[in-house]
Every structure is written in structure tokens, then in C-alpha cells.
A = this chain, B = another copy of it.
Amino acid sequence: MTDLDALARRLRAELGPDQVITDRQELRTYECDGLAHYRVVPAIVALPHTAAQTAAVVKACVEARVPFVARGSGTGLSGGALPHADGVLIVTAQMRRILGVAPEDERAVVEPGVINLQVTRAATPHGYYYAPDPSSQQICSIGGNVAENSGGAHCLKYGFTTNHVTGLQFVAPDGNLVRIGGRAEDPPGYDLLGAFVGSEGTLGIATEVTVRLTRLPESVRTLLAAFPGVDQAGAATSAIIAAGVVPAAIEMMDALAIEAAEAAVACGYPAGAGAVLIVELDGPAAEVAAQFDQVTALCEQSGAFEIRIAADDAERALFWKGRKSAFAAVGRISPDYIVQDGVIPRTALPQVLRKIDDLAAENGVRVANVFHAGDGNLHPLVLFDDGVPGEAERAEATSGAIIDLCIEYGGSITGEHGVGADKAKYMPRMFGDDDLDTMQLLRCAFDPDGLANPGKIFPTPRLCGERPGRHRAADAFPDAEVF
């Protein structure tokens, strides 16, 4: 019996036989997350039903020195939940109870497998909702959102997952159950909550999440503005923010993205648009009404040739349908595509979009742009045909060069999809050795054996502590004792 066989037997004994998968065919279901071009079949899949079972799985892994990877709904786009071939994939999807909704404290407590949209559904009868809204909100889980610090269209005004989690119970990489934060804001001691949210499974596995609920706005108004091109739409975005208006969302789509959306869902956007903006305002009715007029005027002044105002929820839904289907829709106009995710300062939008155009032309590929314009979070879709020799490579090169552009303009290699397996290689382009070493200090403190989601986030699998012939992680403290 191999060590992994022994581990599987132990897990079956602790969890029950139907909560542990080792059949090769069944394991293949879990070989990738939303980033399907990385595929690894895990050795074992465990499906714990409780926090205690999750802790038991991690403890068993630690004792067997087997790596483990957590997975929620598997919708991540950076390969953060990519399994380890010799490891255990811990699927949190079975932990899907909403443990409590406390509108008087503006909090809900949920298990990690609860679907993002379910939190909003549970809160709505009380006049509240859960603000972070990834496009995948109908299927992605809160545990995955916590791991990746997920964003969404409305994060411009409301912030990311990290701004909406106030407490966590999690299984630390040694198998202990720990609580950090709580219902109240800013408890004393170190704020480990911020470090945990977005740590992509490398500091542990969340087993209970306390989230902030946001009051449903009194009023929501949405407009769709059509511009001759992205320059004018970018200028309108800057003008709106510069005027001190903070819309709930400002989303941009360029001509190619509009073409794809029309082909897929016939959203009926204005003909001849080189770019459209969807601007949504929410809040007290008096505020929204006053600011809506301001936004409309600024779009006109920036060159909008048509502005439509959603008359009702149905029209509002139609505006969003084109935007929300855009990623999938590019399948209508290209056999293959890469979704990139980068951030630039809002003020650099026109220059960067022009440079992306240049890059696409140089490499002979097309790039459709669909993005959160308000916070400079680009989602260029690099289109290619895998059947044409060399195109995939040119698309990959273009996608990588876009990340270089983001860094060059003072932005970031990821806005909301995370680093995962996909972007670990870019981390040294954004951070110096001292910066990465400082992050590594935290990782090593929590996971000295490097068993929690190894190979994610950090470019090289650096090891903690002094081991002969291996890299020492604690370079940041050259004079300190080995620890």
C-alpha cells in the first residue's frame, strides 16, 4: 500500500466512504478550474461536510506530508484551485449552509460552499444584499471568493471581497481551527483577516465566513452611452470620476466586444458604436437623480452620440446582458481566446488601450476589450485560432505583453482573478526580492512545510528554513538565527 493509499483509507474512515474519491475517472472531473488550459488530476478528492472534517483532512495530510489544495465551485480564472498530482483536493462545496442572517448588525455568517448569489437572496427579504458580484456569482462560492479576493462590476463603489469579510473561521495549514476577526470592525491585535483574504489557499481553508451585508439602495439608475471610440469613452470615465461622482459601476466594451455580444445575445446596443459605457448609479433617490443628470451631461460633452436610459428593470437587465455575456460571447467570433486581467491607473486608459491596439496589430491577433473602466481593471480578450500554426503562441505573447504594459503604467498583474498557477511567473516583474521574501515570511510562519496549495502565487517553490543545498526563504533576515 502506498502512502497515498493509506491516506485515502484514513480519510474514508474519518469522513465516510462516499466523501473520498480515488477513482481515476471521477477524479478527472476535478482536473481544472475555470482556467481550463492547466489540467492536473489530483491523487485524492475529499468532500468534507463540516469544519471539523476539513480540519481532520488537513491534519491527515500534514501527518502524511502530502500537499493539499482547496477548491470551491471551481470557477476561478487563474488556476488557483489547480490540483496537485500527488496531493489531496479538498472540495468545500458540501459546506453550504447559511448559518445566520443578522440585518441589525448588517452581517451574515455562511459556510464556504454557499454560492455568492445565495447570500444576497437570503438578505434581500431584510432589505440587504451582498455587494461583491463576480460575473460568476450564480455559481461561484464564498469560500472561493475569500481565497481569491474576488471583485465584480460593482466593486468600483463597494470594494472587493476583502472589504466585505469581517470574520473567519479557518483551518490553518497545521490542521488547527482558528478564528480571526468577528462581527465587529477592527478588533485589536494583528489584522490577519486582510492577509488571509486573497491568500489563494496558501494560508489555510476558510470554513465559516462572516460577511458584511449592504443596504439595498433606494434607487438604481442605469444608462448606456455609445461613443465613436474608446478614447471618448475613456475620457467620459475620467470626467465622471473627476467630478466626484462614484457610480456603482462604469463598464466599457469596445467594438469587437460589442460585435461578439450582439452575435450571442442580441442585446441591441446602438449601431455604429466604437465603444459603449454602461454607467449605473445607486443610492438615495435624491442623490441618484442629481448625479444622473451630471453623468449624462459629461457623457455628451465627452462625445457620446447616443445615450439610453433604462426605463425599467427589463431594459436595465438587457444593458447588463450584453456586458455579462461578453466573455462567453467571443466564442461566436473566434474559436479560441485568452481572458487577461490587469489593472492600470484610470488616467492611463486611453494610452494603454492604444498600445494594446498596436500590440494586437504587431502580433497579427485581435483583442476585444470588456472591462471595469471605473477602476482601470482591464479584461482584454485575445482572440486566436488554435488551428492556425503559431497563432496560439502569438496570442500568448500579446497577452503577456499586456501585463507588461500594466506594470509599466504603474498598475497590477491582476485585478480580481488572482495570481494562482497562471501568473506566479509575473510576480517578480511586479515585486522585488525583498517584497517577495517578506510575503514568504508570512507563508512560512503558517505553512513551514509548504503543503498548502504549493506552486501558487509565488514564482519558485522556495522552502522555509535552512535545508542543505536548498534555497533559504529567510533572506530578508540575513543576520537572524535560522528559524
Chain A stretch 159-206: residues in CB contact (< 8 A) with chain B: 160, 162, 172, 174, 176-180, 182-195, 197-199, 203
A269 within 8 A of B: no
Q: Tell me which of B188, B195, B410, B434 contacts A191 (CB under 8 A).
A: B195
| Residues of B close to A418: CB separation below 8 A | 188
| Contact, CB under 8 Å: A176 / B434 | yes
CB nearest to A432 among chain B residues? B179
| Contact, CB under 8 Å: B184 / A412 | yes
Q: Which of A189, A287, A412, A439 has the most CB of B within 10 A?
A: A189
Given that A195-B192, A448-B483, A480-B449 are contacting pairs, would A160 and B186 also be in contact in the complex, using a CB cutoff of 8 Å?
Answer: yes
Count this chain's copies in the assembly.
Answer: 2
Number of interface residues of A (CB under 8 A): 86
| Contact, CB under 8 Å: B412 / A457 | no
Given that A195-B191, A347-B104 are contacting pairs, would A483 and B464 also be in contact in the complex, using a CB cutoff of 8 Å?
Answer: yes
A317 within 8 A of B: no
Chain A stretch 47-78: residues in CB contact (< 8 A) with chain B: 62-63
Q: Which stretch from A21-29, A33-41, A301-309, A423-431 is at the chain B interface?
A: A423-431
A136 within 8 A of B: no
A192 to B172, CA, bound (A): 18
| Contact, CB under 8 Å: A189 / B431 | yes
Contact with B along A426-453 (1 / 0, CB 8 A): 0100111011101101111110110000
| Contact, CB under 8 Å: B434 / A178 | yes
Supply 19 A–B pairs (Cβ within 8 Å), ascending by A. Answer: A63-B479, A104-B242, A160-B185, A177-B434, A178-B435, A180-B438, A183-B345, A187-B412, A188-B427, A189-B419, A189-B436, A190-B199, A190-B439, A192-B442, A442-B445, A444-B445, A444-B483, A445-B445, A448-B483
Residues of A within 8 A of B (CB): 62-63, 104-105, 127, 149, 160, 162, 172, 174, 176-180, 182-195, 197-199, 203, 215, 218, 242, 244, 283-287, 289-291, 343, 345, 347, 375-376, 410-415, 418-419, 423, 427, 430-432, 434-436, 438-439, 441-446, 448-449, 457, 464-465, 476-481, 483
